[in-house]
Chain A
Amino acid sequence: MKTLELKGVGKSFGPVVALRSVDFSAAAGDVTALVGDNGAGKSTMVKCIGGIYRIDEGEILLDGTAQHLHEPRDAAHLGIEIVHQDLALCDNLDVVGNMFLGREKIGRFHTLDENEMEQLAGQTLASLSVRTVRSVRQKVASLSGGQRQTVAIAKSVLWSSKIVILDEPTAALGVAQTEQVLDLVRRLADRGVAVVLVSHNMNDVMKVADSIAVLFLGRMAAQVRRSEVNQTQVVELITSGRSGDLGLPGAETIGAST
C-alpha cells in the first residue's frame, strides 16, 4: 500500500486550472521526486498535500484512507511534514529550540525540560549520522545553509513523520552541502519514511530518487521508476509532457494553463 496517494486531484484558482486530475503516489522507504518546469503545478500540489490549499476534486489518501485536509494542522497531525524552501527556522533560537518549536517538553513546575529536549535532539542527529552540527546549543543564525537544512529535516525525523516533503532542499546550497543533504534524504527514506523531493535539479533527482513524477502544465505526465528511465527521457517529459510512449497523448497537452 502506498503511504500517500493522490487520485484525480484538481485545483483551480478562478479560471486558472493549476492541477487537473493528478494521480500521484509515494511509498514508504522511497524517495519520490516531483519534477516539472516553472508553473507546472509543483508548489500547488505540495500545498494541497500540506493542507494549505483545499482540493476542488479528487481525493488524497493516506495509507489507503481518504483524508480531508482543511488546514496545515490537519496535515501535521497525520504525520505530513513539509520542509519549505525558505526554511521555517528561528534564527535566534538554538538547534534544540527549533527542533522542538511548538512541541516543547515540559518538566517540573511547568518549566521547559531542556535536558530531555537536548538529549533527544542530539540522539536524532546522531541517528541520522549528522556530524556537521557541532553543538545542538548553537544558535541557528550561526549555521550554514546545509546545516540549517539538516536541522529542518532532522526535525521531521524527531516527530516521526510518515511523509516528509522537501521543497527544493538543495536550491541554495554548494556542491559539498548538496551532497550532505542528499545523503540525509537517502537515510531518511531508509528509515521507512515516504520522502517527496521537489526539485529542479536533474542531477539530484537522478542520483537520489527511486520514483520520479513529472508534472506538465498541471497534469501528471508520468510517474515512473528511476531504474526505467534515463535523464534525457525525464527532461523530455518535463519540457514537452511526453517521451516516446511515456507521457501524455499529444493532442491533450494543449489547452491546460497555469
Chain B
Amino acid sequence: MNAVVAEKAPQHQRSGSALSAYIRDYLARLRGGELGSAPALVGLIVITAFFAIVHQGFLSAYNLEALVIQAAPIIVMAMGLVFVLLLGEIDLSAGTTGGLCSAIMAVLLIRHGWWWWLAILAGLAVGLIIGFSMGWLRAYAGIPSFVITLATFLAFQGVTLILVGGQGSIILPAGTPLIGLENSFVPLWLGWVLLGVFVVGYAALKLLDARGRRSAGLPATPVAVIVAKVVGVAVVGIAFTYEMGINRNLITNAFFSNKAEGEPWVVVLLALLFVVWHFILSRTRYGRHVYAVGGNEEASRRGGVAVSRIRISVFVICSGTAAVSGLVAASLLQSVQSNAGAGNTLLLAVGAAVIGGTSLFGGRGRMIDAVLGGLVVAVIINGMSDLIQGANSSGYEWVVTGGVLLLAAGFDAVVRRGRTA
C-alpha cells in the first residue's frame, strides 16, 4: 500500500495560518487551470493603462461616461449569453432578437400610441417567447442551436426591416424613462447611497458566509481576504462615482445651465441584472443544474435533472436578456434603426463573454465574465477610435478586437488542454 500513500494528494497542513492556506489553495487552483476572472481583470487593467498613457483624456469623466453607455448593451447581452454558453450552446440570434424586440417596442409606442411601459413589456415578452421557441426546437426537435439561431438571426433581421420600414429608423420621443436609461443621470446623492448599499451588502454577504462556514466547522475565507476584496470593490466604486459626479456639460451660461453630472441610470440596471443573475447561477438549485448539464448531460439526467427544461430555460433567459439589451441600445441611439442588432452586435457580446473567461465548450463561466469582458471590448473600441483617426480607423478597431478575441479563445483552449492532461 506504499504506492497508495505516495499517490495521495498533499494533505491540508494545519501549520500555516488560514490566510496562507487560502493563498496556497488559490495558487493551486490557478495552476490547475481554474483562473477565474484573473486574466480578464489583468487584461482590463493593462489595456486601460495603455490607452490612458497614449491618449490624454481617455479616463476623463466625459469619455468614461461614453465608455459606460457604449459598453452597457454589450454587457447586458453577454450576461444572457453566459447562460446559453454554459450549456455549450450558442445563440447567434441574440443581437437580432434584441433588435426585433426594440423595433416592436418602437412601433407600438410610436405608431400605435401605447404607453411606454406597456410597449417595453411587449418587447420583453416577445423576447421570452422567441427564447422559448428556440429552446423547444433545440431540446425536443433536436436541431443544433447553431442552425436554429442562424436561421432566426437572418429571419429576425428581415422582420425588423419590415417593421421599421422604408424610412430606415423610428425616432423615439425624448423624455421617456427609456431614453433616460442611457442619457440621463442618477442624482449625485442617490449614486453614493446606491454605492453604499452595494458595498455594504457585498461585505455583509461575504462575512455572513464566512461566519456560517466557521460555525459549521468548515474552512472559511479568511477575514483579511474578504476585507481586501471589499476594499477593492469600494475603491473602484468610489473612484467611478466620484468621477461621474464631475459636471460634463461644458456649455453653461446664464441661459443654458443644464448640468450633466452623475452616473447614467443604465449603471443601476447593470448592477441589478448582475446581482440577480449572479445569485441565480451561484446560489440556487437551478443554477447548479445549469452547470451540471453543461458539464455532463448524461450524468445530470441520471441524477434526476430535468435536462430538457434546463435547456429551454437558458434560451428563454438569453433571449429575454437580449431584448433588454436591444432596449438599452435603442435608448443609446434614441431610435431604432432598420438594421438594429445586426452586424457585429452579437459577436461583440459573445466575444465579451469569452474574453471574460466563459468557455464556448460549456460548463464554465460566471456572470462577472460578462461584465469584465464587456468592459474590455468597450475599452478597446473606445480607445482605438480615439487613438487612430482617419479613414481606416474603424478597420484597425476591428482587427484589434478580433485579435483580442482570438487571444482569449486560444487562452481558453490552452487552459482546457492543461486541465484534461
Q: A residues within 8 Å of B by Cβ?
A: 72-73, 76, 84, 86-93, 97-98, 101-104, 106, 110-112, 115-116, 118-119, 131-135, 139, 141-142, 144, 146, 175-177, 179-180
Contacts and interface: CB of A to CB of B under 8 A. Distances in A.
Contacts of B303: 88, 101-103
Contact of A93 (B32, B291, B302): B291
Contacts of B12: 134-135
Given A90-B363, A118-B218, A135-B12, 18 more contacts: A87-B299, A88-B298, A89-B299, A90-B296, A90-B300, A92-B291, A92-B295, A98-B299, A103-B303, A116-B216, A131-B8, A132-B4, A134-B8, A139-B32, A142-B32, A142-B419, A144-B7, A179-B1
B335 to A, nearest CB: 41
A119 B216 contact: yes
Contacts of B10: 134
B9 A134 contact: yes
A102 B300 contact: yes
Contacts of A119: 216-218
A131 B11 CA distance: 9
Nearest to A88: B299
Contact of B285 (A106, A139, A141): A106
A123 to B, nearest CB: 11
B3 interface: yes
Contact of A103 (B32, B212, B300, B304): B304
A187 to B, nearest CB: 15
Contacts of A177: 4, 7
A156 to B, nearest CB: 12
Given A101-B303, A139-B34, A132 B7 contact: yes
Q: Is the interface of B mostly helix, strand, loop or mixed?
A: helix
B305 interface: yes
Give the bracket for the number of chain B residues in contact with chain A. 35 or more
B364 interface: yes
B70 to A, nearest CB: 32
A142 B420 CA distance: 8
Contacts of A110: 284-285
B309 interface: no
A206 B21 CA distance: 44
B238 to A, nearest CB: 29
A132 B10 CA distance: 9
A98 B216 CA distance: 20
A115 B218 contact: yes
B288 A104 contact: yes
B396 to A, nearest CB: 37
B3 A92 contact: no
A139 B11 CA distance: 16
Interface in B331-360: none
